[in-house]
Amino acid sequence: MLKITYYGHSVFLLNDGKYKLIIDPFIEGNPLSPVREKDIVVDYIVVTHGHGDHLGDSVSIAKRNNATIIAVNELANYVAAKGAKAHNMHIGGSYNFPFGKVKFTIAHHGSSSAEGTYTGEPSGALVTMDNKTVYHTGDTGLFADMKLIGEMNPVDLMLVPIGDNFTMGIDDAVKAVELVNPKFVIPMHYNTFPVIKADPDLFVKKIQDKGYEGKVLGFGETIEI
Ligand code: NI
Ligand code: MN
């Protein structure tokens, strides 16, 4: 079984009982986070892009845990320059780690650090642990290649932004689910800030009406897939 815990915004902890991996750990500064940076114990960190609400506390978490940050090349170089251990990858590539596999996908968005450093193309990540594939889309608008991503990488769990303004809103996110055709869906990237206010229950109702399964996770809530 793979345990998935949601810490608000786009932050998810994956735990297969042996390895722990966190995606986009925006903890301090995340008003929805039920935990603090010092509470995070992980082996690996996947970061989808350089924006502060995704890179978040990655560098301090990596250093404190001696954990490896997995990201596209330019972002991996950026965190390595700050003293974190990094594994450089890029879009379309996959790599087998001790915990399983990571493959990066495209995302239609931007990516730079808080200081304005270019941190490569934004990405989504397909993370396979315990034979379950989780597709964290990162921040993105809707794109038709999601159909290809779902066909080539059967998705057990899709983590999809619904907050609008910076990413897909609810109706585009519903279409994204139809394109990827995952077994289960969890909404993310909503209600952290007033500008991305959205109703996750409405989103889940809309995907259920299309025959998909999903759930709104509470902040700090864990499910098993
Ligand atoms: Ni972003
Ligand atoms: Mn974001």
Report the largest interatomic distance among the alpha carbons of the chain, rounded to a whole angstrom: 47
pLDDT, tens only, 184-213: 999 999 999 999 999 999 999 999 999 999
Q: 8 C-alpha to center of ligand 2: Å?
A: 12
Question: What pLDDT was estimated at residue 151?
Answer: 98
**In sequence order, which residues have a C-beta less than 8 Å from that of residue 212 and are 6 or more positions away?**
177, 178, 182, 185
CA of 163 to the centre of ligand 2 (A): 9
- How many Å lie between the centroid of ligand 1 and the Cα of residue 215? 23
User: Domain spans of the chain?
Assistant: 3-215
Phi-psi region of 9 (alpha: psi -120 to 50; beta: other; left: phi over 0): left
| Residue 161 confidence (pLDDT) | 99
Which of these CATH numbers, 3.40.50.2000, 3.30.70.60, 3.40.50.150, 3.60.15.10, describes 3-215? 3.60.15.10
Distances in Å between the Cα of 62 and the Cα atoms of 99, 117, 164, 206 are: 16, 20, 30, 38
pLDDT value of residue 100: 98
CA–centroid distance, 220 to ligand 1, in Å, is: 22
Separation of CA 213 and ligand 2 centre (Å): 24
Dist. CA 17 → ligand 1 center (Å): 30
- For the segment 46-63, the average pLDDT, to the nearest whole number, is 98
Rama region for 74: left / alpha / beta (φ>0; ψ in -120 to 50; rest): alpha
Residues near ligand 1 ion, CB 5 Å cutoff: 51, 139
Amino acid sitting at position 181: N
Percentage with pLDDT > 70 across the chain: 100
Q: Residue 57: its pLDDT value, please? A: 98
Entry pTM:
0.98
105-124 residue pLDDT tens: 999 999 999 999 999 999 99
Q: How far is the CA of 32 from the centre of ligand 2 (A)?
A: 14
